[in-house]
Amino acid sequence: MHEAISENVFAGTAMLRRAVYQSGASVPSNELGQIDTGIGKGGSAGGTAGLIAPTVSITKPYETRRIDGVEIEFQLTPGTEAPAEMNLYLPQFRVLCMAENATRTMHNILTPRGALVRDPKAWGKFLDESLVRYGDKVEIMVAQHNWPTWGGEHIRTLLADQRDMYTYLTTARCTCSTRARRRWKSRRPCARCRASWKRSGTRAATTDR
């Protein structure tokens, strides 16, 4: 609750302005205008914005709850895409929801909109834990951006590629800093990351999420 409120208090105005430009809110939705926003089909239109305080808090690394007859296992992943973030696994349907932790893009670590700096080391760690815990169980993976992934092999590949990508952001930069390489020499992604992005359809560094 604290994290949901604080970001909007500190950066709400700038985030709204950014969203208008990024999503093309004023562009007509047609074949000559807006098709989608790149990381999704678009934001909701109309309605009333609000925030309802939770009645149940997930506090353990893994917790299982039954909601409206559906069993859901929650995996806490703090410090990844958001300060307070979690993945969800639905064993009844063998569906894994990776929130915004594993999508077809590479999130910024330092966002222009003013959100807290992400921790790529923790991000890679939690993605590895997701892969180990759910990789041999899941058949469908969904996320809050882009299209679903079907089939265990494809899901394991995507999770591994995303894990390696965020881990690379930590290890490569630390290596370059240690070796005192000039900045321009450390910008280009490694060949392994470029290959994995191409294989999984990831668009590198194209979104301010």
Residues contacting 174, CB < 8 A, separation 6+: none
Query: What is the model's pLDDT at position 71?
Result: 98
Distance CA 119, CA 100 (A): 14
Of 42, 20, 17, the C-alpha closest to 30 is 42
Structure tokens at 2: 């604290």
- pTM, two decimals, is 0.80
Rounded average pLDDT per 10-residue block, the chain, 209 residues:
76 78 80 78 72 90 96 96 94 97 88 79 96 97 92 96 91 69 53 60 50
60-98 confidence digits (pLDDT tens) = 999 999 999 999 999 999 999 988 899 999 999 999 999
Q: Which CATH class is domain 62-200?
A: alpha beta
Residues contacting 150, CB < 8 A, separation 6+: 139, 140
Domain definitions of the chain by residue range: 1-37, 62-200
107-123 confidence digits (pLDDT tens) = 888 877 667 789 999 99
CA atoms within 13 A on the CB side of 69: 0
